Structure 1
C-alpha cells in the first residue's frame, strides 16, 4: 500500500464522532448536506477516491463500477446490507467490498417486536384517536387487538436478526417457527424452542404472524408473492424490517384492502420512498420510515466498523468484514 494517507469519500452525513475520526486518519471528503449523491457525483467520486463509503441509498451498479478509477480498491459500506452494490463486478475489477454486520441486530429485532405489537394491539389507531381529541372514554369493545402469548410466529430468515427476534418473541410466550436456507443446529433450535419448516408454503399457511428477516437477493425477490400471500390466514399479520423487495407490495396492498389479511407492519418498502398508496391510509397497517437500525449506539458502532475496515485495508490486510460473492 502507498505511504500517503488514503483518499476517502463519504456519500452521506455520518455521526459527528465518526466523521471526526475519519478525518483524523484519512484524507476525507465529507458530505455537506444529508441527501443522497447523484449518480454522476458517485461516479466522479469513484474516479478519484481510494475508498468509497456509501450507504444503502447509493445504488452502485456494474456501469458505475466500470467507470471507477484504477486507484479505487475498497467500497467500505456503512451498513450490513450490500444488495445496492454489484459485488461481483467489483470483485472482477479488483475492488473489495466490506460491510458492518452484526451491529444492528438487537436494534432491528426490537423494531420487529414493536411492529408486531403495533399491529396486533392497534397502537397507532389508539394514538391517532388521542391526538385528534376524539376519545370518548374507555369501552369494553373498543380497540380490541390480539394477545401475543400463544401465537405462532413464522420467521423467514433465521440469521442474526431472525434469531434475535425469536428470543424476544419467546419471552412473550409466542410459538417460534422458521424457514431458512439452512436448518439451525439442534442445540440452537432447542434453545429457541423453534420448529423448522422445509416448506415455506406450508409454514406461512399456518402462522398467525410472519416476520420477514432475510436479505434481498435474486432468490428472495418477491419471495412473498401474491400466491404465497394468499396462503396466509385471513386473520394473520405480516411484518417486514428487512428489505422491501422480498414482498410483492402491490399484492399485499390489494389483500389488505380486501380484508384478506388482518394487518401489516412495514419499516422497508419495495420502491424505497415511493410507498404504495394503498398502504398509506389503512388503519390496520403500521408504516415506519426505515427506522429499524436508527439508534445512536448502532450508528456509532457502524462507523467504528467502517473505520476498522478501512484502517485494516490501509495497513495492507483484508478488511475483517469483507463481503464475498459466496456469502450472498
Structure 2
C-alpha cells in the first residue's frame, strides 16, 4: 500500500460548487503538434468539475482507495507545523500543483525517506529542488501540454488588458463613472507593435500564433531555434539572446521555465535595456523577475505595465509589493487551472499513477527527473539546481507580514 499526499488549493469561500456556469467543456483529442491527451484507463470525474481544490481531490480517491492505497488531501503546506510537514515521514508519493505549490526542498526530501515519486498536476516543477530529487532518487513527473493553451490564452488576454488599459476602465464603471479621458489616457492599439516571447516552446509558440492575427511584428528568443517553415509562416524575427530582443520590443511575454539560469533574469539591468513604456507579461514563474525591480520600473515609468499570474512565493504574502504597485494587471496563479485544463491535468495525473503502480514506463514527455538525472521534458527545458530558496515567505500569506 502506498501513501499518496495530495496538496491542493482551498475550496471557494462560498463552498464547493454544486452547479457550474456551463454544462460541458469541448472535447479535445490531440494537442497542436499531435501529442495525445492523457490516456488513463478510466476517470472518476466529469470534465468541467472543480478538481484542483481540496474537495475535488483531482478525482483520485475512488481510484486510489480501490487499489488499497491511502490518499491524504490538504491545502496546509507551508511552515514547520503544516499538515504537509507532519505527513512527510511515511509518504510514498506527493502530488502538487504550480498554483498552490508544495515546495519540496532538500530539507523536506530528508524528512521523507519513503518518497519515490513527485507529480506536478500541471506544468512547471520548479517548486521542487531538482538537484535534491536527483540526489534522493525521486522520480519527478508533470503533465506536459495539459494547460499550455490555457496559459497562452491568458497571455493574450493580459497583453490586451494592459495595452488597452482595460482594468482601470472597468473600475470606472464599478465606481459609477463615465470618465472617458481617464480611461484612454493610457490606452493604445496593439496593432503595429513589436511583441517578443522569451522562449518559444509550447506556450510561447501558441502565443505567437494567436498574436499573428493582430498585425504585430513578432520576435522570439529560445535555446532551440524554430524551423524555417514556422519562422516564415509567422514572419518571426529570431534573436540569439534576451538582451537583443527586449531592446526592440514594445511588449515582452515570458514563457520559459524557472531554473537557476533564468532566476531573476528581468532585473534592473535587463529592464533598463527595454524601450521606455514597454510592457511585461509573465505567466511563467514569478522568480524570473526581480520583484522590487519590477515595482521600481513601474514607479519610474520605464515600464508602462506589468501583468501576470505568477508570484514568488505562492501564495504571495498579503503585502507583496506586486499587489499595490501601479499599472499592474496581476491575478492569482489561475492561467493554467481553468476547469477545461483541470480535466486534462487530473487525467494526466491518474495516467502517471497508473503507470507507476503497474510498473509501466511513464511517458517521456511527462518525465522531469528519472533514474538519477534530468529526463524527458526535464532534460529539454531545465538545468539541474535549486530555485526554491525564499519559499518560506509563503507562510506569511495568511498573516499579512513580510
Task: Report the TM-score when normalising by structure 2.
Answer: 0.74
Aligned to 1:111: 154
User: What RMSD, in angstroms, separates the aligned Cα atoms of the two structures?
Assistant: 2.3
Deviations 1:294-325 (A, max 9, x none): 21121121111111111101111332222132
Check whether the contact 2:310–2:332 (CA below 8 A) recurs between aligned residues.
yes
Larger relative contact order, structure 1 or 2 (CA cutoff 8 Å, min sep 6): 2
Check whether the contact 2:116–2:137 (CA below 8 A) recurs between aligned residues.
yes
Distance 1:62 1:34, change over 3 A: closer
Separation (CA, whole Å) in 2 of partners of 1:22 and 1:37: 25
Counterpart selection for 1:267 from 285, 305, 309:
309
Aligned to 2:40: none
**Correspondence 1:61 to 2:102:** no
Deviations 1:82-129 (A, max 9, x none): 111122322332221111110111110011011101100011101110
Instruction: Kindly report which structure 2 residues correspond to 1:64-213, keeping only aligned pairs within 5 A, or say none.
Output: 64-70=108-114, 72-136=115-179, 138=180, 142-143=184-185, 145-213=187-255
Check whether the contact 2:3–2:72 (CA below 8 A) recurs between aligned residues.
no
Separation (CA, whole Å) in 1 of partners of 2:264 and 2:167: 27
Separation (CA, whole Å) in 2 of partners of 1:141 and 1:285: 15
Aligned to 1:52: 94
Separation (CA, whole Å) in 1 of partners of 2:5 and 2:320: 36
Distance 1:265 1:275, change over 3 A: farther
Check whether the contact 1:156–1:213 (CA below 8 A) recurs between aligned residues.
yes
Distance 1:14 1:214, change over 3 A: farther
Separation (CA, whole Å) in 2 of partners of 1:195 and 1:132: 43
Q: Secondary structure at the match of 2:94?
A: strand
Q: Secondary structure at the match of 1:187?
A: helix
**Correspondence 1:323 to 2:368:** yes
**Correspondence 1:300 to 2:332:** no
Aligned to 1:19: 60
Structure 2 stretches of 5 or more lacking a match? 9-53, 383-402
Aligned residues: 321
Q: Which stretch has the larger CA shift, 94-103 or 38-47?
A: 38-47
Instruction: Kindly report which structure 2 residues correspond to 1:232-311, keeping only aligned pairs within 5 A, or say none.
Output: 232-272=274-314, 273-274=316-317, 278-311=321-354
Deviations 1:190-231 (A, max 9, x none): 233211101321210110100011111000011111111011
Q: Which stretch has the larger CA shift, 222-231 or 84-93?
A: 84-93
Aligned to 1:8: 4
Q: Secondary structure at the match of 2:272?
A: helix
Q: Which stretch has the larger CA shift, 245-254 or 277-286?
A: 277-286
Q: Which stretch has the larger CA shift, 241-250 or 33-42?
A: 33-42
Distance 1:190 1:146, change over 3 A: same
- Structure 1: which 4+ aligned runs deviate by more than 6 Å? none
Shift of 1:8: 1.7
Check whether the contact 1:269–1:275 (CA below 8 A) recurs between aligned residues.
no
Q: Which stretch has the larger CA shift, 36-45 or 255-264?
A: 36-45
